[in-house]
Amino acid sequence: MEIVVCVKPVPDAETRLRASPDGRTLDPEAVKFVLAGYDESAVEQALLLKEAVPGTKVHAVAYGPAPRTEEVLRSAVALGCDQATWVDSGPDATGDPIVAARALAGAIAGLAHDLVLCGKQAGDDESGLVASALGALLSVPDFSCVVDLRWDAATSRFRFQRPVEAGLESWTSPTPFVVGLQQAWNDPRTAKLPAILKSRKATIGRATAAAGTGGESRPEKFELPPPRTGAKMIEYRTPQEAAEKLVRILREEAKVFP
Amino acid sequence: MPDFSLSPEQQSLRDLARRFARSEMAPHAAECDRTGRFPEEIYRKAYELGLMNLNVPTEYGGSGLGAVDQCLIVEELAHACGGMTTSVIANCLALEPILLGGTPEQKDRILKPFCAEYHLASFCLTEPSGGSDAGGLKTRARRDGDGYVLDGEKCFITNAPHASLYTVFATVDPNLRHKGITAFAIPRSAEGVTPGKDEEKMGHRASSTSTVRFDGVRVPAADRLGEEGEGFSLAMRTLDQTRTPIGALATGIAQAALDHAAAYALKRQTFGKPIAEHQAIQIKLANMAQAVHAARLLTWHAAWTIERGAKGTLESSIAKCFASDAALHVADEAIQTFGGYGYMKEYPVEKLLRDAKLTQIYEGANEIQRTVIARELLLEYA
């Protein structure tokens, strides 16, 4: 089985963020980029399938600028992906999800793919569009919010579940199709030190972004939330003391109740 | 100019160590410190990720890292818990005599199966009657047929109760002093090897420390590391390699203390404003930051010197001595920044002081480091 998994570099949640000098985007110079959390779950899903279905190959694909996109592909290789392809966006990419999906679809169309796995959204722009757009561009079905994807050899179909508002849906689907995976339903593995060292020497394939129309949106302005004010730390020795102090503040200072 | 930037490879190694330290070690640091539990499940995970036998070449199943990469990893681990880090890196110390003094046959026979699975090893040099005076050690190795019989006791041995392999320094003739000392690789399974009970320690409580007795332990000549009488030099060359990571360990503790103190200073209010806005605290934090930064750079420089093939005795002694003194001082100032809360076990900084203290003592007490520094220094003026 041939699995393609799409990955994206996003700012590390622990990075202190700031706006770029032109004020339109996050300043990438000040940011440490990591493999997106949803995509970590997607890579883990791909590797679980690889372990379960003999002969499976996993190909990681990413679209974005240097150097972070190549770095995130090396992380995917260190985790266990067999191959990696980088679609270079150039330094001025707008981040438009349709442009990203078109670039990824162009690369994926040239690769064998029984299954295309994506995180259902990325932790930075939260757009959640790429998986659905890939389905449309590759003319295959797509499903979002998927968990627990398993190959059923007897029926040659995939079985999976979707936790939705009202409950848990169970589905089956023939290949090929696109999946947007829910985050953190599995426990993504950590790359081992020898694999990290080996991934530095891996060949990262290159593909050029497919041309097309649509996806003309551009970021206008990026603002950080205003600094929080008014927070007050209550110091205490016992829960009772904490509660007493809190009630006094709520009553006397915040005047929430008389 | 030297280049202080880390390669992408070094950044990913550091990220791996940081992630492991924060997600696996830090959540258990306070509990293990309180109870003295030896968290073997964490050490097993460290082994599985390749964070344990850092200095062993890949051909023998280790991670094959250079000195700088080792320091990057050790600092990150120590940021989460100094004690756990001591236990994680104890194999590097214990296996170094085999790397430096072992024949290719010994490395194949001893290191390969050892590194192929989770195993702990212990470096057995210190004895109840002395640690710094390694030339005067009393454990005897008597020639017997085609091997040796060892008798004696070692103490303060890291990981000893859990180790499956010991590198042991003994003398074939106490009258020869340094020239009688000989090194051996001895499996735990050898008859007459008895680790003692876990010591109750001031800090590094997640690590395990005990005596090891050797009572009539038969050791084949094939397990002697180097020639008879080469043991002292082997021990010193080992410590030349492993002293620098102790500087990194101390730097990690110091960085943790600074991080806690700065975060607390921004939060804690006195006289109507955060204490970080009081100059007394700012000066404290500034001095702490200088100490941490200098400790890190000295450590990196010592590691860089060793990676270039030099012995690095002077540089590694300076790094270990300075970084461990810095760690104690920075941890002390972190407690002072926290005030009364810092003295309470509920807050994380008093542990750092207790953990920092050991870095001034083990792997060559700082008094010995200063003796070494002065000796190396004066050679340049003589």
Overall average pLDDT of the B124-147 stretch? 91
**Global ipTM:** 0.87
φ and ψ of A178, to 5 deg: -110, 140
Asked if B8's CB is within 8 angstroms of A67's CB, the reply is yes
The count of CB pairs under 8 A between chains A and B is 39
pLDDT score of B76 more than 90: yes
Phi-psi region at A162: left, alpha or beta (left = phi > 0; alpha = psi -120 to 50): beta
List chain B residues with CB under 8 Å of A192: 48-50
CA distance A135 to A149: 17
- Count other C-beta atoms under 10 Å from residue B278's C-beta: 14
Per-residue pLDDT tens digits for B255-298: 999 999 999 999 999 999 999 999 999 999 999 999 999 999 99
CA distance B324 to B331: 11
- Percent of chain B whose pLDDT exceeds 70: 100
Asked if A191's CB is within 8 angstroms of B16's CB, the reply is yes
List chain B residues with CB under 8 Å of A75: 12
Asked if A192's CB is within 8 angstroms of B12's CB, the reply is no
User: Chain A residues within 8 A (CB-CB) of chain B?
Assistant: 34, 67, 71, 74-75, 78, 190-194, 196-197, 199-200, 233, 235
List chain A residues with CB under 8 Å of B88: none
pLDDT recorded at residue B26? 97
pLDDT recorded at residue B352? 98
Q: Residue B83 is which amino acid?
A: G
CA distance B204 to B335: 18
B9: nearest CB among A190, A197, A235: A197
Per-residue pLDDT tens digits for B176-233: 999 999 999 999 999 999 999 999 999 999 999 999 999 999 999 999 999 999 999 9
CA distance B39 to B84: 8
Q: What is the dihedral of CA B108, B110, B113, B119, to 10 degrees?
A: -150
pLDDT recorded at residue A236? 84
CA A165 to chain CA centroid, Å, is 22
pLDDT recorded at residue A64? 94
Overall average pLDDT of the B161-180 stretch? 96
How far off is chain B from A200, nearest CA to CA, in Å? 7
- In three state form, how does the secondary structure of chain A look? CEEEEECCEEECCCCCCCECCCCCCECHHHCCEEECHHHHHHHHHHHHHHHHCCCCEEEEEEEECCCHHHHHHHHHHHHCCCEEEEEECCCCCCCCHHHHHHHHHHHHHCCCCCEEEEECCCCCCCCCCHHHHHHHHHCCCEEEEEEEEEEECCCCEEEEEEEECCEEEEEEECCCEEEEECCCCCCCCCCCHHHHHHHCCCCCEEEECCCCCCCCCCCCCCCCCCCCCCCCCCCCCCHHHHHHHHHHHHHHHCCCCC
pLDDT score of A165 more than 90: no
pLDDT score of A205 more than 70: yes
Catalytic (active site) residue B105: no
Per-residue pLDDT tens digits for A46-102: 999 999 999 999 999 999 999 999 999 999 999 999 999 999 998 878 788 999 999
SS3 B170: strand
User: Which residue's entry shows tokens 């072992």?
Assistant: B102
What are the beta bridge partners of residue A180?
Answer: A118
Nearest CA in chain B to A67: B8
Position B1 confidence tier, pLDDT thresholds 50, 70, 90: low
pLDDT recorded at residue B36? 97
pLDDT score of A258 more than 80: no
B20: nearest CB among A34, A71, A190: A190
pLDDT score of A229 more than 80: no
Asked if B16's CB is within 8 angstroms of A196's CB, the reply is yes
Domain A2-208 maps to which CATH number in 3.30.750.24, 3.40.50.620, 3.40.50.300, 3.30.70.20?
3.40.50.620
List chain A residues with CB under 8 Å of B269: 233
pLDDT recorded at residue A29? 82
Is residue A71 within 8 A of residue B11, CB to CB? The reply is: no
pLDDT recorded at residue A23? 87
List chain B residues with CB under 8 Å of A197: 9, 13, 63
- Candidates B228, B315, B350, B363; catalytic one: B363
Overall average pLDDT of the A200-223 stretch? 86
Overall average pLDDT of the A205-222 stretch? 83
Nearest CA in chain B to A189: B49
How confident is the prediction for chain B on average, in pLDDT? 96
pLDDT score of A18 more than 90: no
- Residue range(s) in chain A whose domain bears CATH number 3.40.50.620: 2-208
